[in-house]
Chains A and B, each alone.
Chain A
């Protein structure tokens, strides 16, 4: 098994901008299929890793981590090698100017989002937030050269490089939600088969950032899970963020208390984690968790669904920060759940 940090880094290096997740198939399969009994792409939009406990008709636990990441899409190619673009998922416009990006055309090319120098700005211009459709990416190519490589509709992602901070902290692009994907993979890879009380289906699903009802929905009709845990990122506390809307980084994952999540399943997860001595925080998402859980719980004739999230700061930027100890703790939660008799009782 790879080290947690290394697994996350490798997952982050795989481009999977919303709408282009299909491009990840080969790289992802090579990286993670050894950890599962089977690994396949479900038609509706999810990579599915299965680990079976070996008993017939065992209950099925689905662990969903969306695999798509925010990014952009090429909308036009201009004279001088400039590209117009639109968003795939929710971008923070404040961080765009001078950002480094990769354009995933016939080959991967580098670009920088244009930024007007302060000297040339009109009075008060810096106070205004530029609209996305006014922004351009400078590629350095001529229009003719660029058109040979890039077409309208190609995907764009932020510069892909993870970096280590002090201790267990790492930062980079697409930690949302590759770090949670890593937790799910880690759990399946390291759980002892003899102790499992269910079959595990890890879904690395598509299109969460655009529709929040992504591929996990379609995949669930095929898997028909008896229970599901959606794992996604949540807001880490930092100065200026209220306590009630954030959790502490490095203090373990958080369960969501919400009308959209199943209270019985959630309470069982809390008591299992407490019993196993795993640190678990709580978040309150009154009616909507803002994750795949909101759609998943209503699939078919209903799936008891809980949310286990990981604190992340600088969300939806190219330097999302997480703590790998939270990922490992989340994986422990999943393993404890998969090995418990009570969950499906």
Chain B
């Protein structure tokens, strides 16, 4: 799983530009699943036929980033944010464009952090003038803060984008156990979650599952100055009860908890008072389905150093496999 994560992190996939990542994951998934196809919006939909209920697991491929709006006379690149960008976290970080060009994200000189917003920032790619910059970077190109992967103490790691490539890695690792699956399983690697949970909606419409389960990151309550929240790093797989976009199906939540207990998988309950995931869009696609979500507790979400405990991710992986092989 962590090997997958390291690979996925390297492939940039800002919302709307996920194709390269989809092709990479498709190549791996084809080894374990019968049918893997990319739908009109760009979602990768992988199916493994089975006798039981139709279960859809969904992890989003896209990461937050930026899109070039224009290049000015000094050769500085102006941009708009794609997804929820924290400019305090982004200021002065290195960014990478799809074509490998690097730059530094710079706020206006003297600007107070309270006034940080996209219009006040430029990316300095080292170009000496507009002409040179325009040869390297075009309007509409996407870019993101430089990817990274660092081991911290014990089982903890940090880097970006952990959101939501850890979940993609979890599903890819789960696919290796496909022989054990009893249910009819679809893994969706969705697009455009960060810009309004878009891709999963059409994927769920296409698949019409009985149950839909999103895998994503969630906040924790044990960080420096965190809002009160029961989820902790190292506390196990978080089984979502609700967030601000969804109320999960009560019976499915209970079932997930039961399955986790039976398999001795460490788990905790998650009530997130903000944020949303693909769970919401899956629930309301077509005539609707029963939904739940498994979350990886994560500190410093949407920064260059999203931090997780790999034991939690391992627990999430085990829970995905357990649900796929349990009669529901």
Q: Which residues of B contact A260 (CB under 8 A)?
A: 16, 192, 195, 198
Assess whether A31 is interfacial by the CB under 8 Å rule: no
Assess whether B154 is interfacial by the CB under 8 Å rule: no
- Closest Cβ of chain A to B10, distance in Å, is 20
Q: Which residues of B contact A284 (CB under 8 A)?
A: 67-70, 80, 139-140
1/0 contact string of A260-294 vs chain B (CB within 8 Å): 11111000000000000000001010111000000
Contact A302 B19 (CB under 8 A): no
Q: Which of A285-320 contact B (CB under 8 A)?
A: 286-288, 297-304
- Closest Cβ of chain A to B198, distance in Å, is 5
Q: How extensive is the interface on chain B, given as a class?
A: 20 to 34
Contact A298 B195 (CB under 8 A): no
- Closest Cβ of chain A to B125, distance in Å, is 17
Contact B41 A286 (CB under 8 A): no
Assess whether A202 is interfacial by the CB under 8 Å rule: no
Contact B81 A286 (CB under 8 A): yes
Contact A287 B196 (CB under 8 A): yes
Contact B192 A257 (CB under 8 A): no
1/0 contact string of B128-168 vs chain A (CB within 8 Å): 00000000000110000000000000000000000000000
In chain B, what residue has the closest Cβ to A258?
A: B16
Name which of B15, B16, B39, B199 has the most chain A CB atoms within 10 A of its CB: B16
Contact B140 A302 (CB under 8 A): no
Assess whether B78 is interfacial by the CB under 8 Å rule: yes
Contact A300 B140 (CB under 8 A): no
Q: Which residues of A contact B231 (CB under 8 A)?
A: none
A30 to B10, CA, bound (A): 58
Q: Which residues of A contact B50 (CB under 8 A)?
A: none
Q: Which residues of B contact A263 (CB under 8 A)?
A: 16-17, 19
Contacts A257-B67, A260-B198 given: A302-B82 contact, CB under 8 Å?
no
Contact A286 B82 (CB under 8 A): yes
Assess whether B103 is interfacial by the CB under 8 Å rule: no
Q: Which residues of A contact B66 (CB under 8 A)?
A: 286
Contact A304 B82 (CB under 8 A): no
Assess whether A25 is interfacial by the CB under 8 Å rule: no
A33 to B108, CA, bound (A): 55
Contacts A287-B195, A300-B205 given: A264-B39 contact, CB under 8 Å?
no
Assess whether A37 is interfacial by the CB under 8 Å rule: no
In chain A, what residue has the closest Cβ to B70?
A: A244
Q: Which of A236-263 contact B (CB under 8 A)?
A: 243-245, 257-263
- Closest Cβ of chain B to A282, distance in Å, is 5
Assess whether B83 is interfacial by the CB under 8 Å rule: yes
Assess whether B42 is interfacial by the CB under 8 Å rule: yes
Name which of B39, B83, B198 has the most chain A CB atoms within 10 A of its CB: B198
- Closest Cβ of chain B to A226, distance in Å, is 8
Contact A304 B16 (CB under 8 A): no
Q: Which residues of B contact A244 (CB under 8 A)?
A: 69-70, 78
Q: Which residues of A contact B140 (CB under 8 A)?
A: 257, 282, 284
Contact B83 A287 (CB under 8 A): yes
A286 to B199, CA, bound (A): 16
Q: Which residues of A contact B196 (CB under 8 A)?
A: 287-288
Q: Which of B184-227 contact A (CB under 8 A)?
A: 192, 195-196, 198-199, 201-203, 205-206
Contact A302 B16 (CB under 8 A): no
- Closest Cβ of chain A to B204, distance in Å, is 9
- Closest Cβ of chain A to B69, distance in Å, is 4
Contact B40 A262 (CB under 8 A): yes
Q: Which residues of A contact B39 (CB under 8 A)?
A: 301-302
In chain A, what residue has the closest Cβ to B41?
A: A302
Contact B205 A301 (CB under 8 A): yes
Contact B81 A298 (CB under 8 A): no
Assess whether B12 is interfacial by the CB under 8 Å rule: no
In chain B, what residue has the closest Cβ to A267?
A: B140
A260 to B199, CA, bound (A): 10
Contacts A244-B70, A244-B78, A284-B139 given: A262-B198 contact, CB under 8 Å?
no
Contacts A259-B15, A263-B17, A287-B15 given: A301-B80 contact, CB under 8 Å?
no
Q: Which residues of B contact A299 (CB under 8 A)?
A: 202
28 A-B pairs in the complex with CB atoms less than 8 angstroms apart? A243-B70, A244-B69, A258-B67, A260-B16, A260-B195, A262-B40, A282-B140, A284-B68, A284-B69, A284-B80, A286-B66, A286-B67, A286-B80, A286-B81, A286-B82, A287-B81, A287-B195, A287-B196, A288-B195, A288-B196, A298-B201, A299-B202, A300-B202, A300-B205, A301-B40, A301-B205, A302-B43, A302-B199
